[in-house]
Amino acid sequence: MRGVSLALLVGALVCLCFAGCGGTETGGSGERKVITVKGSDTMVILGQRWAEEYMNKNPGISIQVTGGGSGTGIAALINGATDICESSRPMKEKEKQDIRARHGKEVKEIPVALDGLAIYVHHSNPIQSITRAQLKSIYRGRLSNWRELGWENAQIVTYSRENNSGTYVFFKEHILDNEDFAENVQTLPGTAAIVNAVANDRRSIGYGGIAYSSGIRAVPVVGKEGGEAVSPSLETVQSGKYPLSRNLYFYTAGEPLGHIKEFINWVLSDEGQKTCDQVGYYPLKKQ
C-alpha cells in the first residue's frame, strides 16, 4: 500500500507542476502543451468556449478550464496551481503582493470581455425597473415585500453568490456600499444555481452575469434616483451607461509567455472577441 500511495502522490505532484507551469502531457496523439485556466464561475462558460475553439485550431494545445469562483482562481494563481486566473472582479492589492512574495513577479491584469451584472427576477414578475437604493434595501433586509415595489403582497426571496465569488464582491461594493448582506439572504455556489432558483420561484430575486438568462428576466436598473432605467446591452455596457457594467479579467503571474501568450493574444483578437457575443457576453470596446 505504501508503494501505491507514493505513486499516487508523485503523480499528483507532477499534475500540479503542469497546472502551474504551462506544462505538457503525452497521449495517443503525442505530446501536447497544457494550459490551465481556473476561477470565475461567471466566466467559466466563456472560458470553456474559448478553449474549445482554440484547441480545434491548435491540436497541439490542451486547455483545461474549471470554475470555483474568482477567489478560488486567485488563490490557485498565488499557489502556482494555474497558468491563468479568470476573475469577474479586479484583484486586490494584498493578492498582488502575495503573487510578488511567492513568485517574485508582478501580476499581469488583462481585461478580456465585458459584462453587465444583471438583476434577475422570475419571467412572470411585472416590475419594470429597480433602483440601486431599492436593491440595497432588499439585500440589507429593509425592503422585504414585493408590494413595496408595486407588485403583489408576497415576501421577497433573495439569492446571492458565495463570498469567494468575484460577482459577490462586485455586488457588495457597488450595491451594498460594502455593508453586510441580510441574514436571510440565501447563498448559492454558482450563477447557474441562482438562475435555476429564480426561474423556479416567482417571488425571488438574484444577480449574476448577463449570459445566464434562461427562464428569468433581467430588470432595467436605475443608477441614481430620478435617473433613467437602463437594461444591460452591448451598447449600454460598452458605453458604461448601464450602472452595473464591469470588465472580466485574465490574470497571470508575470508576463505570459510562449503558448500561454499565444492563447491570450487569440482571445483578444477579433476572432476570440466574437466568441463573447456567441456565449452571451460582450466584446471589449475597440480603441
Quick one: cell of 40? 470565475
Q: What is the CATH number of domain 9-114+248-279?
A: 3.40.190.10
Q: Residue-wise pLDDT tens for the chain (287 aa)?
A: 323 333 333 233 333 333 344 666 544 445 779 999 999 999 999 999 999 999 999 999 999 999 999 999 999 999 999 999 999 999 999 999 999 999 999 999 999 999 999 999 999 999 999 999 999 999 999 999 999 999 999 999 999 999 999 999 999 999 999 999 999 999 999 889 999 999 999 999 999 988 876 789 999 999 988 899 999 999 999 999 999 999 999 999 999 999 999 999 999 999 999 999 888 899 999 87
Given this chain, do its domains 9-114+248-279 and 118-231 carry the same CATH topology? yes
With contact defined as beta carbons under 8 Å apart, do 229 and 222 qualify?
Answer: yes
Bridge partner residues of 243 (DSSP): none
Helix (H, G, I), strand (E, B) or coil at 185: coil
Domains in the chain: boundaries: 9-114+248-279, 118-231
Q: How many helices (H) and strands (E) does the chain have?
A: 10, 14
Residue type, 125: N
Out of 3.40.190.10, 3.40.50.720, 3.20.20.10, 2.40.30.170, select the CATH number for domain 118-231.
3.40.190.10
